[in-house]
Amino acid sequence: MATEQQDTMEVPAVGRSRHLLDEVFGEADIRINGDRPWDMRLHRAEALDEIVARHSLGLGETYMRGDWDVPSLDQFFYRILTADLPRYIKPWRNAGRILRSYLINLQSRRRAFKVGEHHYDLGNDFYQAMLDSRMTYSCGYWREAKTLEEAQTAKLDLICRKLGLKPGMRLLDIGCGWGSLISYAAKSYGVECVGVTVSREQSNYIAETYADLPITVHLRDYRSLDQPFDRIASVGMFEHVGRKNHRTFMRVVKRCLKKDGLMLLHTIGKNLRHSTTDPWIEKYIFPNGELPSAGQITDAADNLLVCEDMHNFGSDYEKTLLAWHANFERHWERFAEQYGQQFYRMWRYYLLSCAGAFRARYIQLWQWMFSDRLQGGIERVS
């Protein structure tokens, strides 16, 4: 009788969490305390409860605290996303976040500078150590490249060739980063460039580094732009625009683009229209960020601009992220005291989880070409 009573006693919470995660991870061929590169090494059993209760946030925050490790995080996330384990998140868990994204303009003018302060103003020396020599913080083009430097140069040249840049043209770069595109275009194609950023660090860097080039940089929100340009580019910025502002962004482009002009939009994109930003990424990496779907982009341009071309090379982002991670690891000792161990684990988690997501084709990288009904269209450039 005593044995029967013991058998019916409630299983401890940690035991239930371990059983559930063993089952869920098993679908992705991931083992807790296994010995393969993609297996989870658990250091604190209670972390499993937090992962079960808080899903993505719990997974990321317990990793940041050192509660578990995986030798190859990119493989771990590749397997999770390929097996579509996010489907285990109950729809009601995201209902509030989805509703919030529709009701509140998370990327309003008032909030526009938050991501610059939180992410891009970490320190120019930090990004110089992680990125290529031009500090290009977007996907490289690896078709013929063998190094990060070659891939980023190839990407910049691809953009310039797609835009058909010629001496004397004026190029606007919406979200110009540390000036990699505008400096390359000014030097290699003889164009006058205007850049817009919400990061003080980026603005100061461009003003100091490229004072000898025909470049003007503005610390301002894109919605205030109203000058005419021959060509417009936006590289890795549209992810911060948000669905409530997609149409506004396209109206700004139409307002600033000359009748015979072209606009290139380089952005990460998601496969599902009705989905929200990963809560860990939103909290720790890109506040108020939101990836667009292909349908949302075309909706935004509807009856304003003509889509001339769309090029997907999302698989190249995995290589780019792994190259950034290698640089980050190589130079970490320089920054360890300044940023601390939790930042190290956060940044490693960010870079490698994203690499796994691109490898799994869970997210994409698109280059869209738009015109204002350009006569004759354009020829595909690759």
Q: What is the DSSP string of 21-73?
A: HHHHHHTTT--BT-SSTTSBEES-TTHHHHHHHHHHHHHHHHHHTTSEE-S-H
Instruction: List, in sequence order, every residue forming a beta bridge with 218; answer none if it has no partner.
Output: 196
Nearest-CA neighbor of 229 among 255, 199, 267?
255
Rounded to an integer, what distance in angstroms lies between the CA atom of residue 126 and that of residue 336? 11
The one-character DSSP state at 3 is H
Instruction: List, in sequence order, every residue forming a beta bridge with 172; answer none if it has no partner.
Output: 194, 232
> 116 near 200, Cβ under 8 Å?
yes
The one-character DSSP state at 293 is B
Average pLDDT, the chain: 90
Return left, alpha or beta for 270; rule: phi > 0 is left, psi -120 to 50 is alpha, else beta: beta
- For residue 206, pLDDT over 70 is answered with yes
Residue with the bigger pLDDT between 167 and 55: it is 167
Rounded to an integer, what distance in angstroms lies between the CA atom of residue 176 and that of residue 329? 26
- For residue 287, pLDDT over 90 is answered with no
Predicted confidence at residue 88, as pLDDT, reads 67
Whether 354 is catalytic: yes
Nearest-CA neighbor of 275 among 80, 108, 56?
56
- For residue 2, pLDDT over 80 is answered with no
The pLDDT tens digits for 251-277 are 999 999 999 999 999 999 999 998 888
Predicted confidence at residue 300, as pLDDT, reads 98
Residue type, position 49, single letter = D
- For residue 191, pLDDT over 80 is answered with yes
Residue the block writes with tokens 């499993």: 48
> Which of 139, 193, 256, 354 is the catalytic position?
354
Band (pLDDT 50/70/90 cuts) for residue 118 is low
Helix (H, G, I), strand (E, B) or coil at 214: coil
User: pTM, whole model, 2 decimals?
Assistant: 0.90
Full DSSP string of 107-155: T-TTTTTHHIIIIITS-HHHHHHHS-TT---S----SS-SSHHHHHHHH
